[in-house]
Structure 1
C-alpha cells in the first residue's frame, strides 16, 4: 500500500511538471488530483490499520517468547546427547517437525498464558518420547534429568556452583574430624566438608553432630531419598539441594532420588517406560528417510521386522543382506532395484562394513523423493559406532533394541512373537506349551544374570533371540518327529549347540534348565 501511495504522488508530480499554462485551467489535472486525493486517503487509512495490526502481531508474538525459550533449551539438550553416544544424532529439521506437530496437537486454551503452558508441556513430553525411542535404557533417566535441570536453570532455580558439585563434587575448605566414624565413611565425610564450602551449606559440617541421629536415620533407611532432612535444613533447602545431601550420605540411591526429582518437577510420565512400536516409526518415515535399529549386544530385530513386513503385506517384497567384507556392491545393486520396484531393503550389521558407509551415505543423499517409488523403505541395523554416517543418523528414524528388563518382560516378549498356529499345529500341543515355558524361562534367566556382573556370570555370555528361536524350532520338530519326548536331545542341542559360546560348566546350565523344566511340568 505504501508503494501504491508513492506511485500516486509520483503521478501528481509528473502531471504538474508537464502541465502547460495555468494549472487551474487544466481540467484533466484537476480530475487526477481529486481522484488521487480520495485514493490517497483510502490508502492512508489502510496503512494505519496495517500498522496497528502489525503492532498487535508483534505484541502477541512477544507473549510467546517463553515457548521460544523452552524450545531452544530443549534443542541444545538433544544436541548434547551426541557426547554420550555417537549414535545419538538429531537434525534441526527433525526437531522442527516435532515442534510444529506440538503446536498443532497441543490443547487449545482461552488465555495466552494457558496456551503457552499447554504448548510447553505437550512439546516437552512429545520430544522426550521421540528421543527416548532412540536411547538406550541406561541413558533415559539421564536425559529426563537433563531436561528438568536445564529448564530449572533457565528459571534460576538451580545455582551453578551446586550443579557443579552434583556432577564433580567439591574440595573441603576446612578439616574437621569425622564425628560418626562407626557408620560414616571418611569419603562421605569429605563430601560433606566439600558441600559445606558452598554458601547455602556453610554450617552443614558444624551442625552435623547436633543432628547425627537424624542423619543416621537417612543413612540406614531403605528409602533415604524420601526421608526428611533433619532440623532447619528441611525447610531451608529445596528439592535439588536435598539431592546434594543424598549424594553425600547415600550415593547408591541417587538414581532413585533423581527419579523422584524428575517426577516431582516434570511429571510421573517422564520416568515411566516409553513403548516402542514399529508401526509408529514406519508412519513417520519416507522413501528418503532410513529406519535405523541401534542394537545392543545379543539383540536381533530381524524377526520383529519380518513379522511387521508380513502385517504390511511386504513379506515377499523385502530383500535382506548382512553387510561385511565384499558385500557393498551387492547391497548397492539391491538398493537400486528396490527403489525402482518399491520394495523394502534390510541392511544388517552396518558396523561390520565401515569402509562402505561413505558409499551408503552417498546413495541415501542422492535419493530423489520425486523419482523413487513411494513404497521403497531402507531398514538398517548397527551397533553403536563412530564410523556410522552422522547425516544418516540425523535424518533417519531411530529405535534402540535392547533385551527386555526382567524375566517377566522377557517371557512376554517371547510369547508375543509367537502365534497360535505355531502351537496348534504341533502334534503334542500340551507338551509343547510346558517345554516352551521351560526354555523361555531358561533364556530369561541367562539374560538377566548378565546384569549382576561376577555375581551372575564372570563373562557376559550371549543367548540371543536368534538362538532362542532356533531352540524353539528344534523343540517343536522333535515333538513332531519322536514318539517319546527326547529330553536328552533337547538339552544337548539347546545347551551345547545353540549355546556353544557358553564355556561355563554344563552342570550349571543344566541346573537352570532342569529347574525351569520341573517348574513348567508341575504347572
Structure 2
C-alpha cells in the first residue's frame, strides 16, 4: 500500500466511526441497529457493490408480487408470503436465480434450514460453498436477503451478522474500511464525552426513557469540573421568565442550566 492509500483508508475509517458515534448518541436504542444498517447500505451502494435492486429486495421482499404470476406452493411447510419472497429474490438477485428450482428439488433439506433455530448462522443448502467464495460482507448480505425472505423473524439477527462482516468494501481494487465488529459492540456514552464533543453555544438534549433522570449525572460532572451546581428548573406554565433569567446568569458566569420536562 502506498502512503496515499493508507491515508485515505485511515480517513475513511475515522470519519465512518466518528459519524456513527455522533449519530448513535442521539438515537433511541430500538433504532440503533437500523442506523448501522443504513450506514452500511449507503457505503456499499455508493461503492457500487450493492445495487438499488438488492436493497429493495431487503426492504420489500415479495410484497409486490401477484400470486397468480408464480407457481403454486410446492410444499405445505411453505406459506404464500415466503413463496412470493423466494420468487422476488430469484428474479431480482442473480445469485439466487435458481432458488425456486432448488427448493422444489431438495424440499426436505430446505425445510430443515427454514425451520432451524438460527438460520442466520446455519449452512445454506445448495449455496454455502458459493457464499464462502464471496467477500465476507457480500456473502453475509446475500444470506441476509435469504433470511429476510424465508424467516423474517430472524432478520434483525442476520442484520447484525452483516454489519459485523462488513468491515471493508472494495473500491477499484482497494479495500476501504467500512463497519465491522466494533459497530456491534455495546457502546456507553459518558456524559463527559458528550460534553467534550459539543460547543458551549450548543445545548445538550437528553432523550429519556420512562423513569430515567440525568440530574445526578449532570451534578456529578459539574463537581468534577469544579463548577457550581447547575440551576435546575422544571418547565411548565409560568416558568419561562425564571428559566430565561437562569440562562442569562449562566451565560454571564459560565455555569450550567438544566431544564427538565421540556416537552
- For normalisation by structure 1, the TM-score amounts to 0.44
1:114-162, Cα deviation, whole Å (9 max, x unpaired): 1111111122112212221221111211111111111111222112112
User: Partner of 1:230 in structure 2?
Assistant: 125
User: Partner of 1:114 in structure 2?
Assistant: 6
User: Partner of 1:260 in structure 2?
Assistant: 161
- Equivalence map 1:211-226=2 (5 Å): 211-226=106-121
1:85-137, Cα deviation, whole Å (9 max, x unpaired): xxxxxxxxxxxxxxxxxxxxxxxx96111111111112211221222122111
Q: Is the 8 A contact 2:223 2:229 kept in 1?
A: no
Q: Is the 8 A contact 1:132 1:274 kept in 2?
A: no
**1:252 Cα shift?**
0.7
Whether 1:129 aligns to 2:11 is no
Q: Is the 8 A contact 2:233 2:260 kept in 1?
A: yes
User: Partner of 2:251 in structure 1?
Assistant: 339
Aligned equivalent of 2:53, options 161, 171, 176: 161
Over 3 Å counting, the alpha-carbon distance change for 1:207 and 1:317 in structure 2 is: closer
**1:233 Cα shift?**
6.8
- Cα distance in structure 1, aligned partners of 2:123 and 2:49: 20
**1:217 Cα shift?**
2.3
- Cα distance in structure 2, aligned partners of 1:111 and 1:165: 39
> Which of 226-235 and 294-303 deviates more?
226-235
| Secondary structure in structure 1 of the residue aligned to 2:206 | strand
Aligned equivalent of 1:276, options 170, 189, 212: 189
The answer for unaligned runs of 5 or more in structure 1 is 1-108, 352-523
User: Partner of 1:186 in structure 2?
Assistant: 80
- Cα distance in structure 1, aligned partners of 2:205 and 2:129: 48
- RMSD between superposed Cα atoms in Å: 2.1
Whether 1:143 aligns to 2:35 is yes
Whether 1:321 aligns to 2:222 is no
Q: Is the 8 A contact 2:102 2:126 kept in 1?
A: no
Over 3 Å counting, the alpha-carbon distance change for 1:233 and 1:197 in structure 2 is: farther
- RCO comparison, higher one (Cα < 8 Å, 6+): 2
Q: Is the 8 A contact 1:228 1:234 kept in 2?
A: no
Structure having the higher helix fraction is 1
Return the index of the structure with the highest Cα Rg: 1
